[in-house]
Amino acid sequence: MTATTDGNAGALGPLAPAASTTPQHRTTPADGLAAAPGRLEEAAALATRRATDHLLARQAPEGWWKGDLETNVTMDAEDLLLRQFLGILDPDTTAAAARHIRSRQYEDGTWPTFYGGPADLSATVEAYVALRLAGDRPEAPHMARAAAWVRAAGGIASARVFTRIWLALFGWWRWEDLPELPPEMVFLPKWFPLNIYDFGCWARQTIVPLTVVSAKRPVRPAPFPLDELHTDPDRPAPPRPLAPLTGWDGIFQRLDKALHVYHRVAPRGLRRVAMNSAARWIVERQENDGCWGGIQPPAVYSLIALHLLGYDLDHPVMRAGLESLDRFAVWREEPEGPVRMVEACQSPVWDTCLATIALADAGLPADHPALVKAADWMLDEEITRSGDWAVRRPGLPPGGWAFEFHNDTYPDIDDTAEVILALRRVRHPDPARLDAAVARAAHWTAGMQSGNGAWAAFDADNTGVLPNKLPFCDFGEVIDPPSADVTAHVVEMLAYEGRADHPRTRRGIEWLLAEQEPNGAWFGRWGVNYVYGTGSVLPALAAAGVPTSHPAVRRAVAWLASAQNPDGGWGEDLRSYDDRSWIGRGTSTASQTAWALIALLAAGERESETVRRGVAWLAQTQREDGSWDEPYFTGTGFPWDFSINYHLYRQVFPLTALGRYLHGEPTLHTGER
């Protein structure tokens, strides 16, 4: 795959100083533009035209849009480790991946998990090992700095479990010093605690193959030692004290010890049947393009598990899986040579529906060929068969859309709501086909409501507390609870579908109002962070008929005004997930400024100084080609633990905001409202 040119390929720099969150501001060039309504509208119109042309030029011939999805170098490192484990690592891939990994290293030798973020131990360990595979010598200055920092941070022993699993594959860490994950857990019934359906779909797809890896405990010959990454090479895994039995940590530590004993005495016949059942579960969930769930982590572990169970590299399942991983690679040419970045996932459905919304709201005619082509592609992507979501909703007819090119097992509630909103903006030549797809998807989405009245991304009522307590689960979310942003998108969709007064919609609204933070904002699960959550909720409340005078709306407006940066934009650092002092604070970005504007416009604030200054910031920071620059990560995989830079966010959301500023409330082509 060829990379798009997004302007963020350079080495990382330090995080810019956080902007003040006080309402007062210094005078900036944007203030002069904001103070002249006629000039501001002209500038907004020009920016909208440029952004529209830029986005139209990026549409694929088939009708979709897809921006690069950038995460962190662990994706690239683990891809090289997988290929080393399978014996298929080639020099060209290794060299190109190493160039990308080096370009993301800080001067102190470390690697972060997001642009400008703090150094991360596990990312630094994995990147270091990958560069060793590429031939970088440990005495090289950039490697020596990395190793010294790792040792000072506690060494490999302090890295997360997943990092140590990768190292165990080559004997750099002992399997005995990792949490046990028995394959027999695939036999646990759906009502039993810690059955595989208690985990979120992304965790479930990763855990099942890892049970096979944990049972097999493979070790490939290490190509080099890693003593320099241990604080004490003679004692790499110091014993950890047991937590008291009064809490879950102590209980699960002792359960893990019991499972290690079970590993030694597990009946061979039962274990063989369990691993075969796990293999069947894995193979049944491979998508038509060879991937698993449309995301990279389950794919790499599934390939390792199946290979350990006797699937050779020429087996159709293995061959298709490896080919799918190759399609996750983004190549670009740099002066020093080809550079290869691995995407954790691909987002064409999400990008296409957001691009369609942006272009329609910017004034593109509803029957414009680009919009009709996009609608045709989205209609072709509709999922009409059941998946794992049916475990909790067995009688619900299927309908909806996934996030990726291929992921029929896990349609996404968030994507489905936004696709419906996008389709309703298009005057399609076959309205009956469009209406039928929307009806199926809206019914499915409504039926995926959790018991508390809200919606999650993939499953209903996936809210158990035990999965997050397992010693194995020390990285990211492993459950899929409802969130304000997803619930808001569903409420907005249902309202535009004429269901604003439906009991399901009303329960969703009540949940949203109850979830508002004391400061007036809403938490953002899938985008950074309170700016995203608030930017999702206010348009939903407006669509559902909640008046702009409602106290919750006024509190949110006041919070957004207080969070505006001196330059007129908005930004929020990912550290707000881990440190509340960062809430609403960060360098201004195009996507976050757009989210704030979309929220304020929905709240009736078009003529406010706050909105005018935000629009002026977007107009003045736009590039000549109609794009915006945004190196900062504003997408969320796991809050704090795994962050995303959606390279199309800085194009679609500013265009949506500018379009709504110029044209008002979006026009949806449904006679139901």
Residues involved in catalysis: 414
| Spatial separation of the C-alpha atoms in residues 386 and 398, rounded to whole Å | 6
Q: What is the DSSP string of 315-383?
A: SHHHHHHHHHHHTTEEEEEETTEEEEEE-SB--HHHHHHHHHHHHHHTT--TT-HHHHHHHHHHHHT--
Measured in whole angstroms, the distance separating CA 330 from the mean position of its chain's CA atoms is 17
Cβ atoms of 610 and 559 within 8 Å: the answer is no
Name every residue whose Cβ is closer than 8 Å to that of residue 639 and which is 6 or more positions away in sequence.
Answer: 477, 525, 529, 577
Name every residue whose Cβ is closer than 8 Å to that of residue 360 and which is 6 or more positions away in sequence.
Answer: 366, 371, 422, 425, 426, 659, 666, 667
Q: Beginning with the edge strand found earlier in the chain, give each strand of the sheet holding 642-646 in spatial order.
A: 69-70, 642-646, 635-638
φ, ψ at 462 (rounded to 5°): -95, 70
Whole-angstrom CA distances from 565 to 20, 38, 538 are: 6, 23, 20
Cα angle value 187/192/195 (rounded, 5°): 55
Q: Which two tokens stand for residue 89?
A: 């690592």
Q: Which two tokens stand for residue 547?
A: 């008046």
Whole-angstrom CA distances from 546 to 147, 500, 506, 666 are: 56, 10, 11, 17
| Spatial separation of the C-alpha atoms in residues 181 and 275, rounded to whole Å | 12
| Spatial separation of the C-alpha atoms in residues 407 and 530, rounded to whole Å | 29
φ, ψ at 441 (rounded to 5°): -70, -40
| Spatial separation of the C-alpha atoms in residues 396 and 662, rounded to whole Å | 41
Cβ atoms of 653 and 595 within 8 Å: the answer is yes
Query: Is 527 in a helix, a strand, or coil?
Result: strand
